Amino acid sequence: MSKNITRRLAGIAAAVASLAMLFCVLPAQAADASLSTDAGANANVVQALKYVQDLNALRARTDRRALTKEQIAAAQKADNNSSMTASQIPDGVADGSAVSALKVNSDVMKWAQTRAEEMAQRAVSNPQTPLSHDNMTNGRPSWFGNYSNPMGTYYFGPEALAIGFLGYNSYNPVDSWYSELNYEIEHPNASADDLAYYRQGYGHYLTEVFPYADIAGIGVSVVPSGRWKGAIVTVLEIAQSNGNTTGTTQTPEEALAGLRSIQSVTNPAAITVESGTAKPTNLPATVSVTYDDGTAGQAAVTWNVPDNWNADRKQRTLTVTGTVAGTSKTASLKLTVKAASITGVTANSDTKVTTASGTAPSLPSTATVAWSNGSFDNNVAITWDANDSYKKREGATYSLNGKVGDTGKTVTAQVTVTPATATKAASPATTTVVKGGALGSIPTSKVTWSNGDVTDENIVWDAGKNPSAANFDELGDQTFTGKAQGLPVTWKVTVVDAKVTKVYNPAAITVESGTEPQLPATVKADLDNGKKGQDVPVTWAAVPNTWKDRNGGSFEVKGVANGQSDQTVTIKVTVNPAKATGATFTDGTTETAVTTDSGTNPASKLPKTAKLAWSNGDTTNATITWESKDDYKNRAGGQYDLTGTAEGFKLTAHVTVNAATVTGIAQPQEVTVGEGVKPAIPATVKATWSNGDKSDETIVWNADADPNAASFETAGDQTFTGTAAGKAVTWKVTVVKATITGVDNATAETAAGKVPTLPATVNAHWSNGAADTQVAVTWNTNGVDFSNRSGADKTVKVLGSVEGWNGTVEADVTVHSATVTGAVVDGETTLTTPSGTDPSAEFPKNAKVSWSDGGSDTTEAIVWNTFTDYTKREGGTFDVKGTVEGQTVTLKVTVEPATPSNVEQSQFELTTTVGTKPELPAQINVVWSNGDKVPAAVEWEAYDAALINKAGTFEVQGKVGSEEFPVTATVTVKKAEAKPQPTTPKGDTTAKGDTANNTTTNTAKNKLSNTGTNVAIIAAAVVILAAIAVVVLTVAKRQRH
């Protein structure tokens, strides 16, 4: 290795017309023994795909240093002597942002494999310059073309080359390419030559992250011999898919899955999630796996979360099974779902309520409670806070909270109370004023409101109709008008002159008890001016309290008209009896509570009288009449309400009923049975409860008097005791002697070879007329053949006897056919044969077959599968399967490897002319012990060159293969003028086209194009790398060594 290569660990760079192509080399170190020259070998493919994964990881990073177009152009010019300008570089080439992952394409991988094997052979023949882009199109897909991107002039790619020895300084080609990006940062004092060596215009790095590439291929091959023996060549090709792209395209993970099988799956750690309606999304996307090659990795997993994962409101832990990509093995995950919580409460009707002043709002009675697991409680009662703001005459808007069941949650109603409106305004009574006099006072109006309120409201007099501004100098009537709360009112005032000569008693009035009578302000009178029936003011004496009498009545009040004491009047007042306005219990409430035993009518405990309120303010006692309900008879007790009525007013009693108790039970009826007959044992008795109910209650028999454990074999009386519902139970059984008059036959079934389990009893008919009972039977199976290998059921009879019965009892037994349970080869189960010798004739002929009936084994013939692996030259151990009576047996056959035995031809006669070197055979077929013929290289000994400079004969000795079989070539040298014709070598079997001197080509390589969706047969390996930055314009670069 040159000094410069050793110095930079990677120092080969080539300049190719129209392309800026870069590659690098690392010092020698032992290669991975699993890698080979075959770029399509499985190990090579796996390593290559790992590099694609590393490359995608780099492309996904966002912490890469951003490069401007100007920086790239400057580096290309300085390192590669390129004329590239910033305007010729497409956007987004190396701005540090993440770029999309590359997929692997079978055509591109095949291209990279072809180039990798080509470079490995070049390293043998041209060790000074082992890498070259001269033949870059070798193996390139026909559909490959330029990138369709918004580019300037240059693009980077498609090829990157590398050669080196795997394992040097934990070397990774992707990382080495990436190191070009930061070399100048890490070495700020680097010389221009160093930058040209180590930075190389960022070429490798720009190829790695080129954003317009979407597919790639990597090929890996081991150099077979020479100075670079054991070194690894890596070739990267990038491309952009288009409408003409062929081959299979898939992710490197999908390709790797086709190459390796998963041996085991490691379950992830348990996870706790919140209860919710959507299945959890934070479960691990991958699980750790171990592959069949011993390596570890991550595999995608799809978790099969059951639909009822959140069904419980309580915390629960369940096991979730996951489908692991690339294997039938599954993963499992302990998933703990936290207890559900209430996520909201919603009233079941509108909570925005509008009500008129004085009318209680109609609020929702129930709410729906929503839980985090998606479940609902639909009709949970709401208890609203007390608030009488709805009574405000002026209206109001207020919030009202309601408790939703026992959830601890509340709902809020927005209540809007519309103001009450005035519905009636009473006009003041007519009054009289003496001419020239003044009014005593201005009256108000009694206004009645929509909410029931009655208020005294001032009158707003109409313009020109205000009595305060009027004068009363003129006799006659004056009418004043106005409004009270917007309602019209009228007031009449009469102006009178002169003295009253006669006064008339006003009409009688009637008032309700408790309502003070309003006496008229004027009376009719005749005046001394001749006017008759004029309204004159009157002054009344004090009104007696008789108007408060609840029973009503009548009285008279005297008055003085017009202030003239000689002019008196009388008015009669009738008082209507008062009315009851409400009823309460003595404590002033309308609800009370009583407790009673189940079955006992609570009537005696209910209040008999209520306090009755009257319209005049009196209170009296009133009898309560209660409704009748049978709820007190409920044996389990409980609560219910009773409504009572006092003078038409409703009162409520909350009745609590204590659960009933058992007051007695009906003892079981005595029974009589025959000897040996077990009677039907009563399980329940009738119980009578304190409320009069009757029920069936379970009997718990005493341990020392339990009929279930008793024997009824001997005639006599037996008494059994127990309890039911806490009461004592006694049952008497009389056992009498009886004889059997007949029995019923039985049936049974059994497996072949097995004595059946026959019924212990049969149905017997008794002489005393007692009900049929089960009696013990003794069966005799001696001599009965229960064997059966026929493949179908058979029926046999078994006879039995019953004590006290002289006849026989039969049982029809169905015997099911036996089945084969196992087979064992009769003879040796291992066999050894040389490669090429068919051992089938020596296979065991029979097997010992065992049956499910436990009987003797039988010998049956074996049918063996066809065995052809004995032809394999490398030998091996193989399992050969055979079938006998539906069972599988196995024979292990060891095929001894074949060995080279001799060469097909050991003597050769060659003719040449003086001065011409003879063409010694390069390969000779070696004959193996199994008959195979395999070409092997001949290593000829050196001979004296002087022997071909004169006519004559001489021999050359050679050795073939690792066994060094001796071969001899007899060379006859003739004079040149003789011009002898070439002779066919003795024993030559070469066909037309003479390929005997050609090296054998490995035609068994795996080709990605033949693997369907398995992109995994792509070449791969780790080693030292070389990358290229491809440009459309011609870029010149010096080659350094």
Q: How far apart are CA 30 and CA 99, in angstroms?
A: 35
Query: How crowded is residue 841: how many other Cβ atoms within 10 Å of its Cβ?
Result: 5
Confidence of residue 654 (pLDDT cuts 50, 70, 90): very high
Conformation bin of residue 299: beta by default, left when phi > 0, alpha when psi is -120 to 50: beta
Q: What percent of the chain has pLDDT over 70?
A: 89
Q: How far apart are CA 419 and CA 661, in angstroms?
A: 58
Any idea which of 245-259, 793-807, 972-986, 1017-1031 has the lowest mean pLDDT? Answer: 1017-1031
Q: How far apart are CA 461 and CA 489, in angstroms?
A: 9
pLDDT tens-place string over residues 271-320: 999 888 888 988 998 889 888 777 787 888 899 999 888 888 889 898 99
Cβ neighbourhood burial of 96 (10 Å; 0-12, 13-18, 19+): middle
Q: What percent of the chain has pLDDT over 90?
A: 40
Q: Which residue has the higher pLDDT, 652 or 789?
A: 652
Handedness of CA 759, 765, 767, 769 (dihedral sign): positive
CATH topology of domain 498-578: Immunoglobulin-like (2.60.40)
Check residue 1016 and report its DSSP letter: G
pLDDT tens-place string over residues 380-395: 999 999 988 888 888 8
Confidence of residue 641 (pLDDT cuts 50, 70, 90): very high
Q: How far apart are CA 427 and CA 459, in angstroms?
A: 10
The structure tokens listed for 382 are: 């709401």
Q: How far apart are CA 286 and CA 1009, in angstroms?
A: 29
- What mean pLDDT value characterizes the chain? 83
pLDDT tens-place string over residues 526-537: 888 788 888 888
Q: How far apart are CA 554 and CA 540, in angstroms?
A: 17
pTM summary value: 0.36
Confidence of residue 169 (pLDDT cuts 50, 70, 90): low
CATH of 905-978, one of 1.10.287, 3.40.190, 3.40.30, 2.60.40: 2.60.40
Residue 149 has pLDDT above 60, yes or no: no
pLDDT at position 1037: 28
Q: How far apart are CA 280 and CA 310, in angstroms?
A: 10
Top-tier CATH class for 820-896:
mainly beta
Residue 910 has pLDDT above 90, yes or no: yes
Residue 5 has pLDDT above 60, yes or no: no
Confidence of residue 768 (pLDDT cuts 50, 70, 90): low
**ω before 158 within 30° of 0 (cis)?**
yes
Q: What is the CATH number of domain 662-736?
A: 2.60.40
Indicate the helix (H) or strand (E) that contains 58.
helix 42-60
Residues 6+ apart with CB under 8 A from 23: 12, 13, 14, 131, 160, 161, 162, 163, 1025, 1026, 1027, 1028
The structure tokens listed for 789 are: 């290998």
* Contact assessment for residue 27 and residue 168, using Cβ atoms and an 8 Å cutoff: yes
Confidence of residue 678 (pLDDT cuts 50, 70, 90): confident
